[in-house]
Amino acid sequence: MQAQRKRVLILGGGAGGLELAAELAAEKTCAVTLVDVVSTHLWKPRLHEFAAGTVNSTLAEISFYMLAKMRGFRFEQGRVEAIDRAAKTVRLGDMHDQDGRLLTPARNLSYDVCVVALGGVTTDFGTEGVAEHAIRLDTKTDADEFRELFIAAMIAARAGADPARIVIIGSGATGTELAAHLRLSEQAFFEPEDERARRKLLDLTILEAAPELMPGANGELRTGVADRLKALDVSVETGARVAAVTASEVRSADGKSWPADIAVWAAGLVGHPCLKGLADFEMDRKGRIVVDDRLRTTVDPAIYVLGDAASHTPAGAQMPLPPTAQCASQQADYLASAIPKALAGETPGPFVFRDKGKLVSLGRAGSVGLIGFARKDDFYVAGQFATAAYHALQRQHQWAVLGPLRGTVAIVADVISPARGPALKLHG
C-alpha cells in the first residue's frame, strides 16, 4: 500500500518542515519522509532561552525518530547536499560519528514531490573578526557554546570585582529577547550578599546600526521594548555600525569601542548556505529560493520551498514575506492541503499569509507586541495578555507536531512546570 502512495520528501525538520511532515502524515494520502541533519527537533524561537539557560519546555527538544514513529512518517538523518531534478532524487552526504567513523555512506532518496525547508542563518556581511570572536544563534550547538561561555564569564564575575560584559550586535527580536533572558539568568549567580548589596554581575549592551531600536518595527512596539530594556538595565546604542570584533572588544566604524567578554552577532538573516548548491533554482539577493504564489520553485513545480529558505513576494507587495516561524507554520499548513490536491490533479488556490502580529518576550520585564485582530489595524498589547499571545505560537506548534492529545499534555506540563524564573540549565 505504502509503495503505491506518492512519495513526499521534506528536507529540514524545523518550525515549518516538521509541522508539514506531521500534518501530511496524518492525512495518510502520501508516504512522507522527513530529512534532517540532526536527530532532535528544536523549536528555534526558543533558541535564545537555550542560550541563556532559562529553557523550561517539554517541546524544547524532541527526537525526530520518536516523532516519526508517533505521527506516521519516516525519518532519515543526513546532510542534504544536492537535488537531481531530472532523476527526482536528493543526495545526502556521508554520515560520520563523533570520532570520524563512517556511519552511513552518501545515498540518494527518491521523491515525487520535494519540499525544501532548510531554514536560514545570520550573516556577518564579512565583518572583520565576527567568525573568530562572535557567537551567532543559528543552531543548538551555537546556543550550547554560548551558554558555556556565559557560565564561565558569570563565575569569573562572581569571584572577581567586575561584572561580565556581553555585547549583542543587532536589536531585533533575537538580540532584545536574549538580553532580557540573560538578565533573568544573572539571578542564578547571586550570592545572598550580592543581592543585598545589589551588586551587578552582568553588563549588557545592545548595538544597533540603524538610527533606531528594532528597525522596521512599529513606533509603539519600539517604545514598549525600549522602556522594558531600560528597566532591565540593558544599554542600547543606536547608529553603531560595527566594523570589527576582537577577542576583547567590539569596534564601530567611527572609532568607538565596547569591551566584551562575549560578543553575540544577532543581525541580518539570509537563506541557509546549503541552498545555493542544491540545484539550478532562482535565488534572491539574500540567498533564498524564489517561489511562486503556490510556494513552488520557479524552475520545477514538483519542488516546493517554505519558511526561511523561501523568497515569496505576495502580489502587490514590495518585499518577500518575513523569515518567521509564524510564516513557516502558515506555509506548512497551506502545503499540507495543497500537496495532496496537486497530486490528485487539482489546482490548489494560492498561499495567503495572514500576519497575526509581532510579539517580543522580555523575561521578567514582560511581553509587548502588536496583534492583528479581525482584519482591523494591529493593536498594541502588553503584560499577561501579550505573554499569553507570545506563547500561543508555540502552543500551536506543539499541537501540530504532537497531535491534539499529546500536544495538550505537553502544553499543560509546560504551563505547570516548576522550572520558571532563573532556572539555569547548565548543559545541552
The sign of the CA dihedral 59, 61, 66, 67 is positive
Whichever of 38 and 156 has its CB closer to ligand FAD, that residue is: 38
Backbone angles phi, psi at 234, to 5 degrees: -105, 120
In the list 176, 185, 324, 367, the residue contacting ligand FAD (rule: CB under 6 A) is: 324
**Angle at CA 307, nearest 5°, toward 303 and 310?**
55
Measured CA to CA, the distance from residue 242 to residue 237 in angstroms comes to 11
Cβ-contact 32, 10 below 8 angstroms: yes
CB of 309 to ligand FAD, least distance (A): 6
In the list 17, 224, 271, 369, the residue contacting ligand FAD (rule: CB under 6 A) is: 17
Whichever of 76 and 249 has its CB closer to ligand FAD, that residue is: 76
CB of 20 to ligand FAD, least distance (A): 9
The interface with ligand FAD within residues 251-270 (CB under 6 A) comprises none
Best CA proximity match to 202, nearest among 260, 265, 135, 257:
260
Best CA proximity match to 241, nearest among 371, 379, 396, 125:
125
82 makes contact with ligand FAD (CB under 6 A): no
Site string for ligand FAD, 228-247 (x = CB under 6 A): --------------------
User: Within a 10 A sphere around the Cβ of 272, how many other Cβ atoms?
Assistant: 20
CB of 126 to ligand FAD, least distance (A): 21
In the list 137, 232, 368, 386, the residue contacting ligand FAD (rule: CB under 6 A) is: 137
**Which residues fall within 8 angstroms of residue 152, CB to CB, at 6 or more apart?**
none
In the list 80, 154, 168, 305, the residue contacting ligand FAD (rule: CB under 6 A) is: 80
The sign of the CA dihedral 243, 244, 250, 251 is negative
Classified as helix, coil or strand, 300 is coil
Site string for ligand FAD, 274-303 (x = CB under 6 A): x-----------------------------
Cβ-contact 383, 367 below 8 angstroms: yes
36 makes contact with ligand FAD (CB under 6 A): yes
Whichever of 157 and 168 has its CB closer to ligand FAD, that residue is: 168
CB of 135 to ligand FAD, least distance (A): 12
Strand partners, 304: 115, 296
55 makes contact with ligand FAD (CB under 6 A): no
- How many alpha carbons lie under 13 Å from residue 151 in its C-beta half-sphere? 14
37 makes contact with ligand FAD (CB under 6 A): yes
Whichever of 328 and 386 has its CB closer to ligand FAD, that residue is: 328
Residue nearest to ligand FAD (CB): 14
The interface with ligand FAD within residues 354-383 (CB under 6 A) comprises none
Per rule CB under 6 A, count of chain residues that contact ligand FAD:
33
CB of 307 to ligand FAD, least distance (A): 2
Strand partners, 283: 289
Measured CA to CA, the distance from residue 88 to residue 238 in angstroms comes to 49
For the stretch 292-317, what's the b/e string if a residue is b when 16 or more beta carbons lie within 10 angstroms of its beta carbon? Answer: eebbbbeebeebbbbbbbbbbeeeee
Whichever of 17 and 422 has its CB closer to ligand FAD, that residue is: 17
Measured CA to CA, the distance from residue 218 to residue 223 in angstroms comes to 9
In the list 30, 35, 109, 221, the residue contacting ligand FAD (rule: CB under 6 A) is: 35
Q: Is 411 left (phi over 0), alpha (psi -120 to 50) or beta?
A: alpha
Tally of residues, the chain: 428
Cα–Cα distances (Å) from 48 to 52, 56, 174, 414, in that order, read 6, 12, 7, 17
Measured CA to CA, the distance from residue 337 to residue 352 in angstroms comes to 13
The residue assigned the cell 514582560 is 366
CB of 363 to ligand FAD, least distance (A): 13
CB of 409 to ligand FAD, least distance (A): 23
Part in contact with ligand FAD (CB under 6 A); list of ranges 163-171, 210-218, 292-300, 307-315: 307-315
CB of 386 to ligand FAD, least distance (A): 12
Part in contact with ligand FAD (CB under 6 A); list of ranges 12-20, 125-133, 206-214, 380-388: 12-20
CB of 1 to ligand FAD, least distance (A): 28
The interface with ligand FAD within residues 104-123 (CB under 6 A) comprises 117-119
| Contact positions vs ligand FAD (CB under 6 A) | 12-17, 35-38, 44-45, 47-48, 79-80, 117-119, 137, 173-174, 272, 274, 307-309, 323-326, 328, 393
